[in-house]
Amino acid sequence: MDLLCRAYANTSDDEEGDNSSRPILPAKKRRLEGYSFHPIPFSAAANHGRLSSGEPGKAPAIPGRYVSKRERAIRSASSMPADSFPPVIIPPDAGTLSDADLPGDVKALLKGHGKAHVHGNKISGKLSVNLKGHSKSINSIQWSHNHAHLLASAGMDQSVFVWNVWNKAQKKICTFTHHKSAVTDVRWCPQGLFLLSCGYDCSSRLIDVEKGVETQQFKEDQVVQSIKFHSANSNLFLSGGSKGFIRLWDTRVKKVVHEYLRHLDPVLDVEFSVDGKHFISSTDTSRSNISENSIIIWDVSRQIPLSNQVYTEAFTCPCIRYHPSDCCFIAQSNGNYIAIFSARPPFRLDRYKRYENHGVWGFPIKCNFSLDGKEVVTGSSDGSIYFYDYRSAQLIRKIKAFEEPCIDVVFHPLIPDLVAACSWNGEISVFD
């Protein structure tokens, strides 16, 4: 983790000079002029990315008039060049957020009028869509639940992409470049068209996708490794990072409302229970007792651990997921298997069942449940997607997806026989 922090927390090779001396724009100044995701001519696209200039309707400065320190700071910020804060990059032929151009069969499936539920052993393994744009490894992908034709991806190239997956003309809608270092995680807000992302620049950022602007920034004193929205309140989200701090943020007040401290090593993942009363954290235990703190169950409101001796194997777990209906959760282990645990006290490991045959080998490989919880799907270091039967833990199917490790794989929220996966070399593939 320390090596990764040093490698990706620095300014990229493409940036010029030191940015530490640049003044910071007030949040209300970060706006785009004439921003729209509807089809626009090339000349109009050239105006995207401009910052608003000063306060509207404000009279020009009068020679000899006293200018306060605060006013000088605002004027200095508003006169910065437009490329100081490049919030979004939109190609001239950018796609739109609309689902108007989707094929008819896809529209039917998204509206629930398509074919019946199909499981992993019935997925053909046919590559239906291939998305290319990231120049480095992709760390996280997620489908939008409210607009299920949209997919977000976050990568080591400091960018967050939004894709209109089945758009006939242009699948990539935009590239958000708010982060100044590698982006580790991205999550769709349960309400509205908003994205939350985090990364090595020690911040989490909330983006209004429709307007193409960053609306809030949550700065921390650590690399932020994982973020999750509260399962019952979309105004709250968890963040966990390199110094072991886990914080619960409220986007309405832009502050930390709870902090969960236990002198932890770097936090690798966090996950809310279905009811939102508990959450799980997974930490790197390389510098601590492996019998403690690898996986911790927390009480959200009381801010205390309910158990910190859940997993005593000598492996870290880069990913944890609650089952959508059963009282259990799974953890991806660097021992090249997925472990399963009871989500009721005393939160015991099931020593007689595990999901194995895939490889992890130190990569941040993620796993997930199917919509109905009957399957477990995971990426693998061999570039394949593995489907397991949840009850029996038997391998159902294996699909070769990439030449490089498959990092994340997620089921579509409405189309059960469709998965999206991303790779270590920056590719995204959708299989049906």
User: pLDDT tens, 226-245?
Assistant: 999 999 999 999 999 999 99
**pLDDT over 90 (residue 383):** yes
Task: Decide: 421 and 153 in contact? Cβ < 8 Å.
Answer: no
Fold of the 104-431 domain: Methylamine Dehydrogenase; Chain H (2.130.10)
More confident residue, 358 or 99: 358
Q: Tell me the two tokens of residue 125.
A: 């393994």
What's the rounded mean pLDDT across residues 98-125?
Answer: 69
What's the rounded mean pLDDT across residues 392-420?
Answer: 95
pLDDT digits (tens, 9 = 90+) for 122-167: 566 788 899 999 999 999 999 999 999 999 999 999 999 999 999 8
What's the rounded mean pLDDT across residues 337-365?
Answer: 95
Q: What is the mean pLDDT of the chain?
A: 81
pLDDT confidence of residue 42: 29
pLDDT confidence of residue 432: 85
Structural domain spans, the chain: 104-431
The backbone region for 347, taken as left when phi is positive above 0, alpha when psi lies in -120 to 50, beta otherwise, is left
**pLDDT over 70 (residue 60):** no
Q: Give the number of other Cβ atoms within 10 Å of residue 425's Cβ.
A: 17
**pLDDT over 80 (residue 32):** no
pLDDT digits (tens, 9 = 90+) for 188-219: 999 889 999 999 999 999 999 999 899 999 99
Q: Tell me the two tokens of residue 51.
A: 């910052």
